Amino acid sequence: MLERIKFNLICTLVVCVSWILLFKLNLGLFSKLQLSDLIAWVFLPSGLRLLATLLLRYYAIPGLFVGAMIMGFNNPGLDTVDLICISTISAVTPYLAYHFVRSNLSIQASFKGMTSPQLILISAIFALFSASMHNIYFYFFLDDFYNVLWLGTFEMFIGDFIGSILILFIFSLSIKLIRKIVSTSNIKNNSNASL
| Mean pLDDT to the nearest integer, 134-139 | 89
Spell out the CATH class of 2-194: mainly alpha
Q: Whole-prediction pTM value?
A: 0.88
DSSP 35-65: SSSS-BS--HHHHHHHHHHHHHGGGGHHHHH
Residue 23: exposure state from Cβ atoms within 10 A (0-12, 13-18, ≥19): buried
CA separation for the pair 47, 9 (Å, rounded): 21
Q: Give 16-51 pLDDT, tens digit per residue.
A: 999 999 999 999 999 888 877 778 899 999 999 999
Rg (CA), the chain: 19
Report domain extents, the chain: 2-194
CA separation for the pair 57, 64 (Å, rounded): 12
| pLDDT at site 144 | 66
Q: What is the DSSP letter of 175?
A: H
Assess contact for 16 and 70: CB atoms under 8 A.
yes
Q: What percent of the chain has pLDDT over 90?
A: 58
Q: Give 68-109 pLDDT, tens digit per residue.
A: 999 998 887 788 999 999 999 999 999 999 999 888 987 776
Residues 6+ apart with CB under 8 A from 35: 41, 152, 155
In 3D, which of 20, 14, 25, 50 has the Cα closest to residue 168?
50
CA separation for the pair 183, 180 (Å, rounded): 5
| pLDDT at site 185 | 75
| pLDDT at site 158 | 96
